[in-house]
Amino acid sequence: MKSGLIFDIKRYALHDGPGIRTTVFFKGCPLHCPWCHNPEGQNSKPELSLNKTRCLEGCSECIKICPRDALSRLNHHISIDREKCDLCGDCAPVCPTQALEIIGRELSSEEVMEEIEKDRVFYKESGGGVTFSGGEPLAQLEFLNSVLGKCKKRNLHTALDTCGYVPFDELAKIADKVDLFLYDFKLIDDEKHKEVTGVSNKLIIENLKKLSEKGSQIVVRIPIIEGVNDADENITKTAKFIASLSKIKEISLLPYHKGGRQKYSRLNKVSKMDKTPAPSKEKIKRIKKRLEHFGFQVRIGD
């Protein structure tokens, strides 16, 4: 039985494709975008999260049970020695406020399907379905392929939120089981793409071309990040490229927000975007209008 590492399953999702959806979040991603609002999805291994705002002063239940002496109290809060911690998970169940949490759990494809099936009635009424997100689902290709196959046998609409960074022969293995690609596109300039994400965009661009030629249904998603990809030159070049792929008609703009910044500290990570402002509504409207000039239907997402 195939299993995969999942860090969340969100029910009643409204922004990950048409209708009401169940979004399954895969752990692990080959890109390292500093604006990522799911930093818990970047690492391909489980992680221990500590929400200090929930930590009760005077409580030592997790310290008592830790077999590695990886937990201690520092300045009224629990501190984690992450070199000692082996992610056994003993601490999380005894925390009375759920301040400690293991992020990432192994689930079989059938266990994932059990969660998906709970929302079937909403799919039927709303035209919804299942969205696989992350992290990057294609980083766990075999498991993704297994779950997609089960979804198609049960006539469930499937969407894949992907950065497209995988050899096309692997992408082709699952393409026919995906009803809708939510294809992330950060930057058109390869050098800047490498600088901010850690990888080249050449494979991402080629895969988008091939999926379009194949006739896959695609919505291109563009995060709008102040000082990174919001310049007119990048928007115009991006629009011209996507317009050259005649079958892609819809673009979704995702304005940067700081909704995920607290997750970084919980994982002992540093957010590089604390001083980056969200783009103004006026700027988003200008970008939307510019893209519509190229004939795209443009939505502004959350």
Outline where DSSP puts E strands in 112-249.
129-134, 158-162, 180-184, 218-224
268 Rama sector, left if φ>0, alpha if ψ -120 to 50, beta otherwise: left
Q: Which CATH superfamily hosts domain 3-44+105-300?
A: Aldolase class I (3.20.20.70)
Residue 253 has a pLDDT of 98
Q: Contact 183/219 with Cβ under 8 angstroms? A: yes
- Number of Cβ within 10 Å of residue 114's Cβ equals 11
* CATH number for the domain formed by residue range(s) 47-103: 3.30.70.20
Bridge partners of residue 250, in order along the sequence: 219, 297
Helix pair angle (168-175, 202-214), 10° resolution = 30
Q: Tell me what pLDDT residue 1 has.
A: 53
Please give the pLDDT value at position 76. Answer: 81
The pLDDT score that the predictor gives to residue 70 is: 97
Of the candidates 67, 37, 54, the residue with the CA atom closest to the CA atom of residue 97: 54
Q: How far apart are CA 43 and CA 135, in angstroms?
A: 8
Give the pLDDT of residue 74.
86
Residues 6+ apart with CB under 8 A from 162: 136, 137, 138, 181, 182, 183, 184
Per-residue pLDDT for the chain (302 aa), expressed as one digit of tens each? 589 999 999 999 988 999 999 999 999 999 999 999 999 999 999 999 999 999 998 899 999 999 999 999 988 889 999 999 999 999 999 999 999 999 999 999 999 999 999 999 999 889 999 999 999 999 999 999 999 999 999 999 999 999 999 999 999 999 999 999 999 999 999 999 999 999 999 999 999 999 999 999 999 999 999 999 999 999 999 999 999 998 999 999 999 988 788 899 999 999 999 889 999 999 999 999 999 999 999 999 86
Which of 218, 234, 114 shows the shortest CA–CA distance to 162? 218
Domain range summary for the chain, segments of one domain joined by + = 3-44+105-300, 47-103
